[in-house]
Chains A and B, each alone.
Chain A
Amino acid sequence: RKEVEQDPGPFNVPEGATVAFNCTYSNSASQSFFWYRQDCRKEPKLLMSVYSSGNEDGRFTAQLNRASQYISLLIRDSKLSDSATYLCVVPRETNFNKFYFGSGTKLNVKP
């Protein structure tokens, strides 16, 4: 298994739809997980941190499944402005100062 794997997409969804992405990881000891969004040619911006079973912030919900070693991101009531690439980030098992970055999942929300 790769350290962090994401479906590259693109996920093309209409406005108002609910969409979910999964991220699988290999570091079973990791205690923290992060979702970032990255717009084209911009820096990654922190969307959500997950330190336990999950986290929710408005329309966004992240859920952690430790048994199957994946973390999901659910976006409800998609907006055009949600169109971006979503990156999954996990600390490395040999050095928590370093991180594995997923290659990202591209989301296109269409009118």
Chain B
Amino acid sequence: NAGVTQTPKFRVLKTGQSMTLLCAQDMNHEYMYWYRQDPGMGLRLIHYSVGEGTTAKGEVPDGYNVSRLKKQNFLLGLESAAPSQTSVYFCASSYATAYEQYFGPGTRLTVT
């Protein structure tokens, strides 16, 4: 099992550009999450999904959109990137509510 994978691993964007981050899991987990982690700060939840076709906002959803068209995939979109979105983005999945989460390797995004 690959677990949770993320693509791309690194990306540099110019302000105003758009991109999509892909998260895939092969553990048949219902729940998936997108977090961002900034230097010296803890993980902050952007959006999450409790099942295929559902999404919900986390703590810091502004400037991001998500989609969960297939159970195994969770996409995070940035429509118009801003320097404040420079961060490391982690995807995670879990079997059910309040269960342990498994994280992908992260995407390092720089917006100039």
Interface residues of A, Cβ cutoff 8 Å to B: 30-32, 34, 41-46, 49, 87, 89, 91, 96-99, 101-104
Contact = CB atoms under 8 A, between A and B. Distances in A.
B97 A97 contact: yes
Contact of A32 (B45, B90, B99, B106): B99
Contacts of B90: 43-44
B41 interface: yes
B97 to A, nearest CB: 5
A104 B105 contact: no
Chain B interface size, under 10 / 10 to 19 / 20 to 34 / 35 or more: 20 to 34
Given A98-B48, A102-B42, A103-B42, A43 B97 contact: no
Interface of B: 31, 41-43, 45, 48, 50, 56, 58, 88, 90, 97-106
B42 A104 contact: yes
Nearest to A48: B100
A88 B102 CA distance: 14
Which 4 residue pairs spanning A and B have beta carbons closest together?
A43-B103, A96-B98, A91-B98, A101-B43
